[in-house]
Structure 1
Amino acid sequence: MRIPQIRMSQTFAQLGIETEKPQQTIQQPKAEMAIQQQPTELKIERSPSILEIDQTRAWEEANLKGPATLARDWASASRQQGLEGIARRAEEGGQLAAIERGGNALADVAQTKSHPPPALFNITFIPSYGSVQFRFTPTKLDMNWTQGGVKIDAKSHQPLHEYKPGHVNIYLKQQESLTIEVMDQGLDVKV
């Protein structure tokens, strides 16, 4: 007896996958920035120092006077000498007028005039201490300043974003199949 053979052939199902990649672009525009510097201001006001030297008394002691002072001093000295001369002559006239009292009034007047008293002298340092006057006014310094600063204006921009999503397509590329055949040539089967 022959046993029939069964032949089976099959094909597997095949899936196909098509993909389209996603696309993404990002652009970042630069930020805009404006910077303004406001400078600090410094104002300095200075009055110079002053040194005043008054030598008037020192010049006068050295007899180096101005014309007006010289004229005034000479007028004063002349007046004084004139008054002293008048007083001396009045005294001499009084002595001469008293001849009747006796004595030798004329000889006394001549003796006094011919032998005057010794001149007075002294040592004087020119200029004397303290005759030059000094006055000093120091420098005055005023500083005023105004603080500056920085002004910053910044403007940012949003990023530009574009996105195209990807796509996946899954399909049946090959259909599965199963074929069964009976392989016996001598068998005649009738049903």
Structure 2
Amino acid sequence: MQLARIQMQSTSAQIGFTTRNSVLEIQQPQAEMNLRQEPAILQISQDAGVLFIDSSRARESSGLRSPMQFSDENYQFSKQQLLDAISRISQEGDSMRAIENPGNAIAALAFDKIGISPTPLSTPSSPDEGVDVTYQAKPVEIHVKRGGMKMDPVYRPPIFKYKPGDVNVYMKQYQQLRIEVVGLNMDQSL
């Protein structure tokens, strides 16, 4: 006897999905350093030097004298002439007083007076002789002021661009269940 049977066929459900990946973009704008070198300041100063020119010795040797020097020299010369005259007169008086000595004292004095000659003037060998030149330099003052470096940085934050991903879910295949009865032929003699 053949019995009826139930035959089942099932198909599984299938889910399909499509994805779109997320996108992350990072941009880093370049920072600006803005560096500046400040120039150094250099100051050099020097006071004017002092130049001394003394030509008094040259003027003296060429016969040009200041009024003060001229009066001093005249004083010294006059004083010496006075002392010489006093000494000479004293010696003449002593020689005339000594009558005990043989000879003519007055004639000897006259002969001595004839032989006196004036003192010659002396001239320098060159007119610029005796010029004293001195120079006194002042010190050099150097001042340095450092400028240094200045930095003004400009920072820029990173730029983020984010596109989220997406998942699209769909039914690729629906589930199915097929039920069939097979062998419906039954033996009726039973």
Give the TM-score range, shorter chain: 0.5 to 0.7
Q: 1:20 to 1:104 in 2, by over 3 A?
A: same
Aligned length, in residue pairs: 167
Bigger proportion of residues as strand: 1
Q: Distance in 1 between matches of 2:28 and 2:102?
A: 141
- Comparing 65-74 and 31-40, the one that deviates more: 31-40
Match in the other structure for 1:46: 46
Contact 1:61 1:127 (8 Å CA) reproduced: no
SS of 1:57's equivalent? Answer: helix
% identical aligned pairs: 34
Structure 2, gaps ≥5 residues long = 1-15, 175-184, 186-190
Structure 1, gaps ≥5 residues long = 1-15, 176-190
Match in the other structure for 1:143: 142
Please show how residues 163-174 of structure 1 align to structure 2 within 5 Å.
163-169=162-168, 171=170
State TM-score, norm by structure 2.
Answer: 0.61
State TM-score, norm by structure 1.
Answer: 0.60
Q: Does 1:116 align with 2:88?
A: no
Q: Give CA deviations for 1:81-103 in whole Å, capped at 9, x if unaligned.
A: 01111111222222333346453
Q: Give CA deviations for 1:17-55 in whole Å, capped at 9, x if unaligned.
A: 988796777665664555454331323232444443322
Q: Distance in 1 between matches of 2:110 and 2:59?
A: 41
Cα RMSD (Å) of the superposition? 4.2
Q: Distance in 2 between matches of 1:127 and 1:89?
A: 41
Q: Distance in 1 between matches of 2:124 and 2:61?
A: 9
Q: Give CA deviations for 1:128-171 in whole Å, capped at 9, x if unaligned.
A: 89733333445633434243321213242222323222435364
Q: Does 1:95 align with 2:95?
A: yes
Contact 2:24 2:160 (8 Å CA) reproduced: yes
Residue identity in the other structure for 2:152 = D
